[in-house]
Amino acid sequence: MPARALLAISFAALLWNCALPVSRNLEERQPPAKSAFDPALVRRGAELAAVGDCAGCHTRQGSAPFAGGVPLRTPFGTIYGTNITPEPETGLGRWTQADFDRAMREGLAPDGRHLYPAFPYPYFRHLTDEDLRALYAFVMTRDPVRSPPPRNDLAFPFNIRPLVAGWNQLYLGKDDVPRDAAKGTEWNRGAYLVHGLGHCGACHSPRTALGAEKRGEALSGGEAEDWYAPALNRASPSPLAWTKEDLVTYLRTGIAEHHAIAAGPMQTVIAQLSGASEADLAAIAGYIVSMMDGAGARPLGAMPEAPQDERTAMGRRIYEETCASCHDSGRTLSSGGALQLPLAVALHDPDPRSLIHLILEGVQPPPGEPGRSMPGYAGALTKEQVVALLAYLRTLAAEAPPWKDLDPAVERAGAGR
């Protein structure tokens, strides 16, 4: 499950907790009938829910859809995705459209409680009424599941909800969705989806110590569950410039032959995006590619004849004996073959975390679905061998500086396995 990078809470505003409006007669309401919603609106809501990756936090693998329980491990503790099925006791069954809109835009539950900004209302507040209506129709027509979410496990003072009000005061800017009429409808739709419903910045933007997106650095690279989430702007680490077509294919299938195979947190995002509309995916891809502005086209590295040091030489041997049979050029034995490594974006990231996870955990398609696979090498290679391999692979990213502190990084990733 992808942890939306955490948006946390502020100490600074202990006193800011103002009186909040409370939705009335909550207990007496009955969930609306499914038939109350226009099926076309529900279908549109499904496409939008795919863009918003609601399932990423609200559907636990192998469990009932949208019934919550997905643990989001954050620097502040563990928060569990809530039950958003229309079940009256433990889900959203009693919520009105107004309650839903307020939660999405302001981060407030109908009873006035603050929702933690791990729920990305700082992004969702940009949603149009039209999209919120569709999402509400979608949510309220899911199969109701009675399933109380597990209690959050947050350290003090992050477990004090009213503090969130202060956080909101500090970090919710006026409007961070770029608009430019000159760039056309699709571009503007893309900007709206990327910065709003898609909340791409939750992982792909750098964060402050309190988990808020750093101002002015949107999409310049972030993290999710100890994976590096690459920059989606001019700082894009991809050695080849992304085309819109490649990015649409990637968002649809998780496979971009010249860049990456989706893994880790992005894999669940992709699994959802397969349900998004063509138009929305094209808008997202078009906008991101315009943000990247041709980034890439860096020279690819070739291994120097004599490796600089013993560790790199060892890494090269490991590559040749372990990886090359799939990753070397011309190998198309398995379905679709493997990425040719100098192109793999993870080699060019500013830190090695994603590559470490890829090597240790590999890539597996979602259960029962076709995809690409790579075996994980945790246990198969020793930590020393993984470190050497990383050092060697980094030399393939010719212009990038070597990664530092590989030993503790591998140790940490291995321990979290």
Partner 1 sequence: MIARESRRRFLRETGALVAFFSLPCPRAQSQGASKALPGSLKGSPYLDAWIRIDREGKVTLFTGKAELGQGIKTALLQLAAEELAVPLERIELVTADTALTPNEGYTSGSRSMQDSGTAIRHAAAQVRALLVAQAAQRLGVSAESLSVSMGSIHALDGRTLQYGELVAGQVLHVQAEERSAFVEPGKRVIAGKSLRRVDIPAKVAGGVAYVHDLRFPGMVHARIVRPPSASATLVALDASEVERMPTVLKVVRDGRFIGVIAEREYECIRAARSLAARAKWEESASLPPRAHLYDALLRLPAEDHVIAESAAASPAGGKQVRAEYRRPYQMHAAIGPSCAVAELKDGKYTVWTHSQGVYPLRDALAELLAVPKEAVRCIHAEGSGCYGHNGADDVAADAALLARSLPGRPVRVQWMREDEHAWEPFGAAMVSRANAVLDASGTVAQFEYEVWSNTHSTRPGKAGNLLAGLHVAKSFEPPAPRPIPQPEGGGDRNAIPLYAFPGVRVVHRFIPQMPLRVSALRGLGAYMNVFSLESFMDELTLAAGADPVEYRLRHLRDARGREVIRLAAEKFGWSTWQRRPRAGRGFAFARYKNLAGYLALAMEVEVGRDTGAVQISRVVAAADSGEIVNPDGLRNQIEGGIVQSASWTLSEEVAFDDTRITSRDWAAYPILRFPAVPRSIEVHLVDRPGQPFLGTGEVAQGPTAACIANALADATGMRVRELPFSPPRLRRLFAAG
Partner 2 sequence: MITLKVNGREVSVDADPATPLLYVLRDHLKLNGAKFGCGLGQCGACTVMLDSEAVFSCVVPVSAVGKRAVKTVEGLGTPENPGPLQQAFIEEQAAQCGYCIAGMIMRAQALLERSPSPTEDDIRAALAPNLCRCGTHMRILRAVKRASDKGSA
Round to whole Å and give the CA distance between 195 and 177: 6
Applying CB under 8 A, does 21 fall inside the site for partner 1?
A: no
Least distance between partner 1 and beta carbon 327 (Å): 13
> What phi, psi does 334 have (nearest 5°)?
-85, 175
Name the residue type at position 164. Answer: V
One of 300, 317, 366, 383 touching partner 2 (CB under 8 A): 317
Name the residue type at position 377. Answer: Y
146 binds, among partner 1, partner 2, none (CB under 5 to 8 A by kind): partner 1
Structure tokens at 57: 């936090």
Least distance between partner 1 and beta carbon 74 (Å): 24
One of 27, 129, 175, 321 touching partner 2 (CB under 8 A): 321
206 binds, among partner 2, partner 1, none (CB under 5 to 8 A by kind): none
Applying CB under 8 A, does 274 fall inside the site for partner 1?
A: yes
Least distance between partner 2 and beta carbon 1 (Å): 15
Round to whole Å and give the CA distance between 196 and 175: 10
Least distance between partner 1 and beta carbon 365 (Å): 6
Question: CA nearest 289: which of 257, 252, 242?
Answer: 242
One of 371, 381, 390, 396 touching partner 1 (CB under 8 A): 371
Region of 87-95, 137-145, 177-185, 377-385 interacting with partner 2 (CB under 8 A)? 377-385
Question: Is the separation of the CB atoms in 100 and 94 below 8 Å?
Answer: no
Give the H/E segment covering residue 412.
helix 406-415
317 binds, among partner 2, partner 1, none (CB under 5 to 8 A by kind): partner 2
Question: CA nearest 20: which of 95, 110, 82, 105?
Answer: 110
Applying CB under 8 A, does 266 fall inside the site for partner 2?
A: no
Applying CB under 8 A, does 320 fall inside the site for partner 1?
A: no
Question: Is the separation of the CB atoms in 311 and 300 below 8 Å?
Answer: no
Question: Is the separation of the CB atoms in 38 and 141 below 8 Å?
Answer: no
One of 147, 272, 312, 385 touching partner 2 (CB under 8 A): 385
Round to whole Å and give the CA distance between 127 and 291: 21
> What phi, psi does 264 have (nearest 5°)?
60, -145
Enumerate binding residues for partner 2 (CB under 8 A): 317-318, 320-322, 325-326, 334, 362, 373-382, 385
Enumerate binding residues for partner 1 (CB under 8 A): 39, 42-43, 46-47, 55, 59, 62-66, 142-146, 274-275, 325, 330-331, 333-336, 364-373
